[in-house]
Structure formats: C-alpha cells, structure tokens
Chain A
C-alpha cells in the first residue's frame, strides 16, 4: 500500500488521503510551467492531482482545494520552505522564505460555501471549480462565468441537480435560464464573500531589509492568485532537475525507474548519504585519481548542497 498524506479540502471541510509526489511527477509539474499553452499546464496539474488523490473525482474541487492539495505535496515531498527572490523598487534583489505550512494553515481558514434561498429555488455555492480554471484564462471578470463556476447545486420545486456531473456549457444553460433577479442576487453574494476574503492575506512577500511589501496575494483566490502561487511553489530551473537525476543515476548508481518513483525529498536524502560516503572515502584515500565529482547541483528547491 503506497504511503499517503493527510490533505484537507477547505470547500468541503473534509480530510482525505493523498499519495506522495514522485520525482517523475515533480519533473512533469515543473516542466508544465514552461509550457506557453496555459490550458495544457492546467490539464497536466489536474491529471497529476487525480493520480495522487483518486478520491477527488467524487468531488467538484475548488481553486482553494486544488491549492491545498498541491501545497501538501510540496510541503512533504519537495521542501517545507518556499524560497523566493524579490526585486525591491531600488532594483536590489532580496531573498524571502516562508514555511509552506503557514500557507497551508491560511488556506484551511477559507470557507466560502453558502446556501441561498429564493422562494422556489435553492442555490448552493462554494467557489471557482478547479476544472473551470481554463475558462478564466485571460478573462476573470465575466459575471456569468463566475456564477456558473461558483454554483454547486440547484433545487427547483423538488428537482435537484448537482452541477458536479455537468459540463460547463450545460451548467451555463441552466444559469442563463434562471430569472435575472436570482442571478443578480447570487452575484451580490459572491461579491460579498470575495470582498471579505480580499481583505485577508494568504501570502505576503516583504523585503527583509526595509519591510517594504513586494507582493500580496489575498485569500480571495481567483485564477491570477492560483496560478501565481502554483508558479511560486513549483518553479525550478529545469537544468537542476535533470542534473540531479543524472547525478543519482551516473554517480550514486540508482536505477532511473527507482529515482522516478521516489519523492524529491527522498532523493535528496540519498544524495546526502552518497556525498557523505564519498567524502569519507576521499579522506581515507590519499592518492589522487578518484572521480572528481561535483558535489553541488545548485538545486535550491531540493536543497542539494
């Protein structure tokens, strides 16, 4: 049985199990961010999440849920710290670090779900659905798209429909058939919820020297916020990724299939053992002629020293 981690879905207030992120999957997540086709990137991320957490197919997970799952695997399988490089107004760069656990704790406090009652119609809303992310690329302001994505279910005079089972087009056809005064009020509720979370901080990057705020991402996670945080937690120099893999296979002698199956953090542990052993054998071996191995991969994310 594969090792699993506890993950939390804020929209449903429930826990579920998620598998560890393998090095192969981590490599795919990093590579996807280099893809200029944002839709492909979203599909790749959603596909890997389904592999890691098959239970999510039973739910219509939201942006907050998706971020929560990705942060968990990032925290336990890659690195517990998020290290960013910022540029101050003066042009100087600075380093910023925050424990991923802190962001996870912040996400857990986001509860946008609400039930709206109109005379003969009951509407349940939660947040933007992860599977609708591509709809909002380049346009996150279309009121009708926002309402359609937010709705979980509608009940009309005993007729209940769960939006989880419907395509975006089918959901939109139901929304556009609703009386205008109802969609108007749904949108007002959504605005109220978003304004509330807009005032709360999810991630704030400060210059440690002058405490100047370089970036703020609020708890109102829209497509820009979601994609920005994903970029932060999975951006890595691809050459580091390939170099680390190469070193493990060529020098440490592991099989490629095995390296692909373990987590990035486990790979780091093995590499540390290898370096320790290599250092020991170097100090006991006085003659030269041994392999002149690089001990650094400059991989900041993986913490390779």
Chain B
C-alpha cells in the first residue's frame, strides 16, 4: 500500500508541475488549475444520464473538479458561476484541444475555444446590488459555484427523474436562479435591519423564504439574474460565417468525439 501512496504522491507533484492558468474575471488575474486526472474524467461519463433541466450530476462533478484541482484552495468559495465557465472552457482546451464543433439547425460549425477564453479579460462582473422594498432588503451578488453545487446536491442529487408541467418547471428554475443570486436578506423594523443569516440556511429553507418575499422585490431580483445570464450567454457564443451561435457546456463537451 505504501508503494501505491508513493506513486500517487509522485503523480500529485507532477500534476502541480503541469498545472495551467485560467484568467478569472472575479480576481482579474490568472489562477492555476491542475490538469484533469483519469478519475475526474470518469465523472463526466457518470453524468451522461443526468437531469436535463438542471444538469445536477454535471454541476456536482464540475464543482468537485474545481475544488480538487484549484491550486489556491481558499479561492474556491469565491469562484463565481461566470468564472466557472472560463475554467471549464480551459479544461476542455487542455484535454481535447482548442477546436470544437457546434451543431445548430443541422449545420455543424467549427469554433475555437481561444475566442471564448479571451473574453475573460473583457468582462466586468456586476457589483453587488442592494434592493429594498417595504421592510425587506436583499443583497444580490454574482452567484458562486459553492451555492450552485450546494443547491443541486441538497435538492436533486438523489431525485429520480420526474415529470413536470412546463409552467411549474419555469417557476422552479427562476426561483433556483434567484436563490443563488441572494447573498443576504435583512428584515427592517423600526429602522433596524436584522439579517436572516441567509447563507447559513439549508437551500430548501432559502427557497421557502424567497417564495414569501414581496412580489415587488422579485422584479429587481429577476432583472439582476437576467444580467448575469446575458454575460454567461455571451461567453458561450461564437461568431461563425452564419452569425452568432450559442452552445452549452455539458458532460459530452468533455468526452472524445
């Protein structure tokens, strides 16, 4: 067993040596990540059967990869969902090369990951925003991967495939996105703002609170989430001879064609 541990230790040292850099918009600098191991590549195969709406297994797998491979461990709690996109694009480039194909309306387009990655230095992440309505104050931030992972792990990791009504599904997706965007909620009484300790609550409880927020505050929340999604969609868009084409990052993005 000692021999096994020695070899794995030697491989970890090698992994550090072969780490590559990813520019993160959050920190406006490069951060090093170790290359994918075979075990981590296996995670993607396990994601081939996944929740198609929420990509639960894929989100859990990619969070684990980021957490295991980020050389600066203390950064993991701060990495945003936008940074995550650049990290995943960089991993794809590191494992399968710079070029990839997108299919849209039956047409296949060739694209370069470098075109997506160079956007990292041009993006400015939205500042935190305070929204106050009546006796409620909500602080919004760009969602972090810790919450994206935590939500899926708590609410859907063990879920069997269910059938949803479309409008019910849309509502669930919207509330989930808002949940990730909320950093803190204060209740204001007699000019005193009391935090509810949103970040310390279970995700199911956070959603209960959101569903009881005044309707007026929801519009501002949805607008903020919409701004984040615009940035994310821009990152995952390439310019082709037919115009702009968007793509998704799912498990098969990382599997050999």
Contact = CB atoms under 8 A, between A and B. Distances in A.
Interface of B: 1, 3-4, 6-8, 10-15, 17-18, 35-42, 95, 256
A165 B4 CA distance: 10
Contacts of A166: 3-4
Interface in A232-255: none
Nearest to B35: A179
A159 B14 contact: no
7 residue pairs, one from A and one from B, having the closest CB atoms: A176-B39, A183-B38, A180-B36, A156-B10, A180-B41, A159-B10, A177-B11
Contacts of A198: none
A173 B8 contact: yes
Contacts of A120: 14, 17
Contacts, number: 69
A147 B3 CA distance: 19
30 contacts: A120-B14, A144-B42, A156-B7, A156-B11, A156-B14, A157-B10, A159-B6, A159-B10, A161-B6, A170-B4, A174-B4, A174-B8, A174-B11, A176-B38, A177-B7, A177-B12, A177-B37, A177-B38, A177-B39, A178-B11, A178-B38, A179-B15, A179-B35, A179-B36, A179-B37, A180-B37, A180-B38, A181-B35, A184-B95, A184-B256
A265 interface: no
Contacts of B17: 120
From B11, B41, B42, residue with most partner A Cβ within 10 Å = B11
Nearest to B3: A161
A69 interface: no
A203 interface: no
Nearest to B39: A176
B251 to A, nearest CB: 14
A206 to B, nearest CB: 38
A165 B39 CA distance: 22
Contacts of A193: none
A267 to B, nearest CB: 47
Contacts of A104: none
Given A121-B14, A144-B42, A176 B7 contact: no
Interface in A184-236: 184
Contact of B37 (A157, A161, A176): A176
From A121, A157, A179, residue with most partner B Cβ within 10 Å = A179
A213 to B, nearest CB: 34
Contacts of B18: 179
**What class of interface size applies to chain A in its complex with B?**
20 to 34
A177 B36 contact: no
A110 interface: no
Given A179-B14, A179-B18, A184-B256, A144 B7 contact: no
Contacts of B6: 159, 161
Interface string A142-157: 0010010000001011
Given A161-B4, A174-B11, A179-B15, 6 more contacts: A156-B10, A156-B14, A157-B10, A157-B13, A157-B14, A176-B37
A179 B36 CA distance: 6
A48 interface: no
A179 B40 CA distance: 9
B125 to A, nearest CB: 30
A156 to B, nearest CB: 4
A197 B41 CA distance: 28
Contacts of B41: 180, 183
Contacts of A157: 10, 13-14
A175 B38 contact: yes
A120 B12 CA distance: 12
Contacts of B15: 179
Contacts of B35: 179-181
B7 to A, nearest CB: 5
A181 B35 CA distance: 9
B76 to A, nearest CB: 20
Contact of B95 (A144, A159, A180): A180
Contacts of B3: 161, 165-166
B38 A144 contact: yes
A173 B4 contact: yes
Contacts of B36: 179-180
Given A120-B14, A170-B1, A184-B256, A179 B7 contact: no
A143 to B, nearest CB: 9
From B7, B38, B41, residue with most partner A Cβ within 10 Å = B38
A248 to B, nearest CB: 51
Contacts of A144: 38, 42
A215 B238 CA distance: 52
A175 B12 CA distance: 12
B42 A176 contact: yes
Nearest to A154: B7
